[in-house]
Structure 1
Amino acid sequence: MDKFTVLTGVAAPLPMINVDTDMIIPKQFLKTIKRTGLGKNLFDEMRYTPDGKEVAEFVLNQPAWRQASILVAGANFGCGSSREHAPWAILDFGIRCVIAPSFADIFFNNCFKNGILPVVLPQAQVEALMAQAQNGANATFTIDLPNQTITAPDGSTTPFEVDSFRKHCLINGLDDIGLTLMKDAKIATFEAARKQSSPWL
């Protein structure tokens, strides 16, 4: 998993509440078990017409936000089914941080496990950041995870809270496998002792 320390980039505004995981990545794209390749289908039913043409009005199809690495969204983001493909699609598109007033619990947890930082802020603060995100490519945000701050295009700084263990994992690029491998020596010692005491296993 890629480390997350300081991210500077364009933020795409998505002023919608209750964006569920089927909207993030529709069910027909869930056949794959690969974490890559889903970015092109992120928000598929909002980004494309039934015949595959881009919907010009959708934010990620507009030139100013095509390279967005931050998403500012409405409340209850990531609700619906627990598909992990949703954060996979977000990450594969290039978004590393989602800011919203609230998230669905399973989606929130899956973000951390896949190198995405979900930031919860009060509604008024999200709306203020959303307004600045409307300035598109001319307005960049900086997400500083070690210092837990968001610096907006106007220079204002907004602090945010994050669980200390999850912060540690993101900064060091540790997913569940990475955390397990940190105990590789102890696992090897246990396996060797087990082989000696129970060679029939």
Structure 2
Amino acid sequence: MSSTIKAIQGKAAAIRIDNLDTDQIMPKQFLRRIDKSGLAEGLLYDLRFDTQGAIKPDFVLNRPQYAKSKLLLGGSNFGCGSSREHAVWGLLDYGFKAIIAPSFAEIFYSNAMGNQLLLVALPVEQVEQLMALCERADAPEISIDVENLEVRCAGLPAMKFEISRRHQEMFLKGVDVVGMSLSYMNEIMAFAQAHWKQQPWTQDVAARMKRQIPVGDGPAN
């Protein structure tokens, strides 16, 4: 189970790219990993490194002042392209806790929120204001209040955002989509028991069918 998330606060890095797709966020050569760890290496690889594998010093995430950023500011339609969940895992493994952008691709949004990477959609004008502030030498921290659904940053009025009640509860309870389902286990079992009482022939169908199949040596040649 993940820890509860009532607020996320920290420095933000801005990537001024609209339609940043999941192929760029996590290139295909890093999809061979079978778990979520170690994917930070591949995050935005072609933007962070040149063709020889050398660091591009001008890219925002390679600048020292953004080395420990917890928040990412992005352009419209962030996370479009293929449905690879590795893109979300890589962002989390790199240390990002939230992304603020004008809009997100639908599948990426679902993958991110299900893995406790908070996505906040704000109007273009407000995202631009945040980007302008975070690019200053004396950039203030940004705070995202999950309980009250507000983004706050010194020098700007509070910015309201919306997420579904289900997603909000997942962050406040510290659970992913599986954990959220398990939190309703009592209700699920009560429904199942009532269903089986009314239609007992539907209970354990697979197990009963398996017991009826004779065990042999397999089909004859």
Question: 1:156 deviation in Å?
Answer: 3.1
CA distance in 2: counterparts of 1:89 and 1:187, whole angstroms: 33
In the TM superposition, what is the alpha-carbon distance from 1:157 to its structure 2 partner?
Answer: 1.6
- RMSD across aligned C-alpha pairs, in angstroms? 2.2
Measure the CA separation in 1 of the matches of 2:137 and 2:68: 10
Q: Does 1:62 align with 2:34?
A: no
| Aligned AA (2:77) | N
TM-score (norm 1): 0.89
**Secondary structure at 1:78 match in 2:** coil
Q: What SS is found at the alignment partner of 1:49?
A: coil
Partner of 2:148: 147
Match of 1:109 in 2: 110
Q: What does 1:70-81 correspond to in 2, within 5 Å?
A: 70-81=71-82
Contact 2:102–2:127 (Cα < 8 Å) also in 1:
yes
Per-residue Cα deviation, 1:69-104 (whole angstroms, up to 9, x for no partner): 001111010000000001100111111111111110
- Residues 26-47 of structure 1 show CA distances to partners (whole Å, capped at 9, x for unaligned) of 0111111311211122100100
Size of the aligned set, in residue pairs, is: 198
**Which secondary structure state, in structure 1, belongs to the residue aligned with residue 24 of structure 2?**
helix
Q: Aligned-pair distance for 1:133?
A: 1.2
**Which residue does the alignment assign to 1:37?**
38
Partner AA of 2:36 in structure 1: R
2: distance between equivalents of 1:97 and 1:117?
Answer: 4
State how far apart, in whole Å, the 1-side matches of 2:139 and 2:177 are.
37
Aligned to 1:124: 125
* TM-score, with structure 2 as normaliser: 0.82
Distance (Å, rounded) in 2 between the aligned partners of 1:154 and 1:40: 35
Q: Give distance in 2, aligned partners of 1:32 and 1:160.
A: 35
Q: 1:145 to 1:187 in 2, by over 3 A?
A: closer
Match of 2:166 in 1: 165
Q: Once structures 1 and 2 are overlaid, which stretch shifts more, 102-111 or 130-139?
A: 130-139
Partners in 1 of 2:133 and 2:80 — Cα distance?
Answer: 25
CA shift in 2, pair 1:110/1:57, >3 Å: same
Moved more, 56-65 or 172-181: 172-181
* Conserved 8 A contact 1:3-1:115: no
Structure 1 gaps of 5+ residues are none
Q: How far apart, CA to CA, are the structure 2 residues paired with 1:153 and 1:22?
A: 34
Alpha-carbon deviation of 1:186?
6.4
**Structure 2, gaps ≥5 residues long:** 211-221
Percent of aligned pairs sharing the same letter: 36
Tell me which residue corresponds to 2:21: 20
Q: Give the residue type in structure 2 aligned to 1:125.
A: Q
Name the CA distance, whole Å, in 2 between partners of 1:136 and 1:96.
22
Q: 1:45 to 1:188 in 2, by over 3 A?
A: same
1:184 to partner: Cα distance: 4.5
Partner AA of 1:6 in structure 2: A
SS at match of 1:64: helix
